[in-house]
């Protein structure tokens, strides 16, 4: 199984569609066998579902994510665990231990024309709840 987490500097990146890279874990029998960092090379939002498919990802653990990206991942039959905050390494350990994590209702519903991002600044986003 391959688990992907959008990251920056080891932390779960809080805007799925703008993630600079993914940390991808190869997991067998609940043990991490390999960990690699893969640049998104500018892919964003719904296009990331194809990017993750190319990398044979089965599970995505992330922070905030919009409905278009959620639907694209579902169409690719990837398990999605949104709404997490912390380090990627902590999140994979929680996932493998079966610990309840994230919030399935997490969704970024705003546009970013005004320069803010999910998880940044003082603006309160409808449902991402990070600011």
In a domain, 121, yes or no: no
Mean pLDDT by 10 residues, the chain (131 residues): 97 94 97 96 84 97 92 95 97 96 73 45 38 38
Name the packing angle between helices 67-75 and 47-54 (round to 10°): 40
- Write the CATH number for 49: 3.30.420.130
Q: 122 in helix, strand or coil? A: coil
Q: What domain range includes position 38?
A: 2-97
In a domain, 112, yes or no: no
In a domain, 77, yes or no: yes
Q: 78 CB contacts (<8 Å, ≥6 apart)?
A: 49, 52, 57, 58, 59, 60
In a domain, 35, yes or no: yes
In a domain, 18, yes or no: yes
Res 120: pLDDT = 42
Domains identified in the chain, total number: 1
Res 44: pLDDT = 77
pTM above 0.85, yes or no: no
């Amino acid at each position: 199984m391959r688990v992907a987490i959008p990251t920056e500097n080891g932390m779960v990146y809080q805007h799925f569609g703008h993630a600079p890279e993914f940390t991808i874990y190869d997991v067998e029998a609940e043990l991490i066998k390999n960990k690699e960092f893969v640049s998104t090379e500018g892919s964003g939002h719904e296009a990331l579902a194809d990017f993750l498919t190319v990398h044979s990802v089965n599970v995505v653990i992330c922070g905030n994510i919009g409905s278009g990206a959620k639907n694209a991942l579902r169409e690719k039959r990837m398990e999605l665990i949104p709404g997490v905050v912390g380090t990627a390494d902590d999140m994979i350990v929680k996932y493998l231990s079966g610990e309840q994590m994230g919030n399935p209702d997490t969704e970024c519903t705003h546009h970013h024309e005004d320069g803010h991002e999910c998880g940044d600044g003082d603006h309160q986003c409808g449902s991402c709840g990070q600011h």
